[in-house]
Amino acid sequence: MTDPLQIYFRAATPADVAFLERLRRITMYRSVTNHSVWNDEVQRERVMANYDSARIVCASGQDIGLFKVVYSPTEVYLDQIQLLPAWQKKGIGTKLITMLQHECAAVNLPITLRVLRLNPALALYERLGFKITRSDTHLHTMYWTSRQNIASG
């Protein structure tokens, strides 16, 4: 079966930094400013963190988002997932995370992530079976393992 949206990835390059900074502002500004003041330098550091793991999400021949996943021998860390607003609410985030869940289930690795407490993505993660394991003033740490059953998406 072919993907009607033709979603694919490519590795992020230095030429993508401006797109990723713009994407972060568009997708994260409200969530970040619900907790603190937006600081361009701090947000640039967030874009650059684990940059070698950044994959640009593409569809219909255009860059539409970011999927940054960091692999280690004991877990997989879903560092960032962001999609341009025009591409949100189309099942793409669900598809990307479910794909990662199947990949991790095959090798019996858990997935962890951190999400701002007031980020609407929290509902997506909970729907896909992630459980909050720790919280502080600003962030929830979440955990998923195949033992919890793979989310059907």
User: SS3 letters for 37-54?
Assistant: CCCHHHHHHHHHCCHHHE
Per-residue tokens: 71? 């692999």
pLDDT in tens, 43-88: 999 999 999 999 999 998 899 999 999 999 999 999 999 999 999 9
- CATH class of the domain comprising 8-148: alpha beta
| Bridge partners (DSSP) listed for residue 97 | none
Three-class SS state of 30: helix
| pTM of the complete model | 0.89
Residue 136 Cα distances to 35, 38, 111, 142, 145, angstroms:
12, 19, 19, 12, 22
pLDDT in tens, 14-47: 999 999 999 999 999 998 888 889 999 999 999 9
Q: How many CA atoms lie within 13 A of 46 on its CB side?
A: 21
